[in-house]
Structure 1
Amino acid sequence: MSTTSGIQQWEVKEPYLNLHCGLGEGPYYEKATNSLRFVDIKNKRLHTVDLTKGPESVTTLQFDVPVTVTADIEGVDPREKILIGAKYGIAVLDRKTGKYEYIANFEATQHKERLRSNDGAVDPHGRFWLGTMTDFGLGDVLPEGSLHLFAGGKATQNVRHPVSIPNSVSWSLDGKTMYFTHSTARTLYSFDYSEADDALTNERVFYVHDGPGEPDGHRIDAEGNLWTAVYGESCVLKVSPQGKLVGKIKLPTKNVTCVEFVGSELFITTAGMAEGEGTPEEVDLSGGLYRIDVGIKGTAPFEYRLGA
């Protein structure tokens, strides 16, 4: 790490694991097995790598629909079952058979076949927040998506509409603030989050990215800083609890999608690039999983409560 103009700087030059994902996303540390799982949304896959054994241990599940994000379920061994975000809603995945079953769908909309899920996370109350956006192969991404909230196995609530590319949600260390990334607006928003009645109020701008890329997936560290991937700009940014840029990680490929803490290491997913979309090196290293020690630990994710 170096420091330039008061901003911490890191650089990672090679991938830890390069599966050439079409759209690597949703890295999630599975503490019970010391493994990292992440999805390839475009190729409809879930990858899992045992961090004790290393890159050669990776295993893959193939799906019939895009799987976009995962979470552990409270009281359930993740080696048996986990929660997944899929095209039509949230589902429980049997890790051994590879089969999944929807437990709640997005509310019916006229254009539901046009949409798929994207990023999301479990909140302090054990509920799941999950965005929708235009699916692949339908041309331009339109402002037709929403941010949904699932409680237990109940039907979804549509809490924010319209959005184009809804991305990560997270919570401050005291649980009183929720952050939400709207990528196409290049903006991270914050809200007052009530621990008493779960209410979401006082929407405001937390951070606006001034650059050619778009903020993508993010995580919160143990000091309350927000680490956000920037799609199209070869970097991850560290933003302070006050919304100020305080750090930057440089990567050797452009389409940086999401991050996840494992101890003080930050694992970083990326998306693939076609020939001609960048330098030969940028294309060759696209779609890989990267790792770098940033000297601070992250916050543990919340677990989904099926009966919440």
Structure 2
Amino acid sequence: MSTASTNTDAKPPADDNGLQVWNVTEPYLNLHCGLGEGPYYEAAAHSLRFVDIKKQRVHTVDLTAAGSSPSTLVTTIQLDTPVAVTADIEGVDPHDRIAIGAKYGVAVLDRRTGAYEYVTRFSSADGKDGKEDDERLRSNDGAVDPHGRFWLGTMTDIGLDLQPEGSLFLIDGTARAARTVRHPVTIPNSVGWSPDGRTLYFTHSTARTIHAYDYDPRTGDASGERAFYVHDGPGEPDGFRVDIEGYLWQAVYGESRVLKISPEGRLVGEVRLPTKCITCTQFVGTELFVTSAGMEEGEGTPEEVELSGALFRVDVGVKGLDPFLFKLSES
């Protein structure tokens, strides 16, 4: 297992197209994830957690021990459900419990025992009878908004024929209620906010589009959907994070890179990686951690396959925005 990391210059020179370019050649940690996703920085513990959707695992890497092999600092929770994204809960020690996007909705995971309990199911959303879960669907990416609500997408579950049957849900943990925001979608991905909290971004991967919305900081309403960035390439935009200057760092599945997109929706830089299926990003200080998905033999070069499903990191010279906390009622 390779555990080396590559940290390039924080302010790299521009390429022939005027783009800033960071080159990453080795993984920070290679657990050979089936579908690595959802990296999340736990500031209090200085650790990074991320999920493996296919293998139904939550991994946590302790980042405190400088010079130690990352592989010796990993703890893993094995679940019996796909888990796509995690979030900290307001007023709850994340060492004990966190929120997870599981197959049927948002659940609370006890990290000590591995047990989880649903707090809101997708089947409870408006227009649904609340009686039966849709076995064809699972959760995908999402994030907590400034009002403490969980924006969480659903898509066709792994192993089934991909259809435009998913939705983007808004889940209020204090009311234990879910609301359908957008339907149908095929692969709904990351949700994020501008530094001033007035713009919401949402990536619809199969449409190769990052949508922008006007976000009302007072009410939490989103309106005025527009195309912020439309990707021109063979891959699909996957997960992203926003930095403190308002730039989006957008992973592209199938293109071995992360895009740096300006607040005006212009491509200004890219992180180049040694495997194709790049899934999501997360800031830890000025370092950008990047997850990836596994590949089978023949789907790429031997190196691309060997490093698929690995976790990468690179110093990009800017910090990311802090995540918001999920608000959850006790009842």
Tell me how far apart the structure 2 counterparts of residues 265 and 188 of structure 1 sit (CA, whole Å). 23
Contact 1:44 1:66 in 2 (8 A): yes
From 181, 184, 189, give the equivalent of 1:162: 184
1:81 corresponds to: 97
Aligned positions of 1:1-308 closer than 5 A: 1-4=12-15, 5-53=17-65, 54=68, 55=70, 56-107=72-123, 112-139=134-161, 141-153=162-174, 154-307=176-329
Deviation (angstroms), 1:111: 7.3
Tell me how far apart the structure 1 counterparts of residues 242 and 254 of structure 2 sit (CA, whole Å). 22
Unpaired segments ≥5 residues, structure 1:
none
Tell me how far apart the structure 1 counterparts of residues 292 and 220 of structure 2 sit (CA, whole Å). 33
Tell me how far apart the structure 1 counterparts of residues 217 and 323 of structure 2 sit (CA, whole Å). 17
Deviation (angstroms), 1:198: 1.6
2:7 corresponds to: none
Tell me how far apart the structure 1 counterparts of residues 40 and 219 of structure 2 sit (CA, whole Å). 28
Deviation by residue 1:80-135 (Cα, 9 ceiling, x = unmatched): 11100000000111110111110000025587100000000000001000000000
Tell me how far apart the structure 1 counterparts of residues 40 and 291 of structure 2 sit (CA, whole Å). 11
2:3 corresponds to: none
Contact 2:202 2:211 in 1 (8 A): yes
Tell me how far apart the structure 1 counterparts of residues 100 and 29 of structure 2 sit (CA, whole Å). 22
Tell me how far apart the structure 1 counterparts of residues 317 and 40 of structure 2 sit (CA, whole Å). 19
Tell me how far apart the structure 2 counterparts of residues 2 and 250 of structure 1 sit (CA, whole Å). 14
Tell me how far apart the structure 2 counterparts of residues 199 and 97 of structure 1 sit (CA, whole Å). 37
Tell me how far apart the structure 2 counterparts of residues 286 and 261 of structure 1 sit (CA, whole Å). 20
Deviation by residue 1:147-196 (Cα, 9 ceiling, x = unmatched): 00111152210000000000000001111110000000000000011112
TM (norm. structure 1) is 0.98
Runs of 4+ with >6 A deviation: none
- What amino acid maps onto 1:142 in structure 2? Q
Tell me how far apart the structure 2 counterparts of residues 33 and 201 of structure 1 sit (CA, whole Å). 36
Tell me how far apart the structure 2 counterparts of residues 278 and 36 of structure 1 sit (CA, whole Å). 28
Deviation (angstroms), 1:36: 0.2
Deviation (angstroms), 1:2: 2.3
Contact 1:25 1:269 in 2 (8 A): yes
Deviation (angstroms), 1:137: 1.2
Q: Percent identity?
A: 67
Unpaired segments ≥5 residues, structure 2:
1-11
Contact 2:88 2:326 in 1 (8 A): yes
Over the aligned positions, Cα root-mean-square deviation in angstroms equals: 1.2
- What amino acid maps onto 2:252 in structure 1? V
Contact 2:122 2:133 in 1 (8 A): no
- What amino acid maps onto 1:193 in structure 2? Y
Deviation (angstroms), 1:12: 0.4
SS in 2 for 1:107: helix
Deviation (angstroms), 1:6: 2.1
Contact 2:104 2:133 in 1 (8 A): no
Contact 2:21 2:271 in 1 (8 A): yes
Tell me how far apart the structure 2 counterparts of residues 287 and 176 of structure 1 sit (CA, whole Å). 34
SS in 1 for 2:76: strand
Deviation by residue 1:19-53 (Cα, 9 ceiling, x = unmatched): 00000000000011100000000000000000113
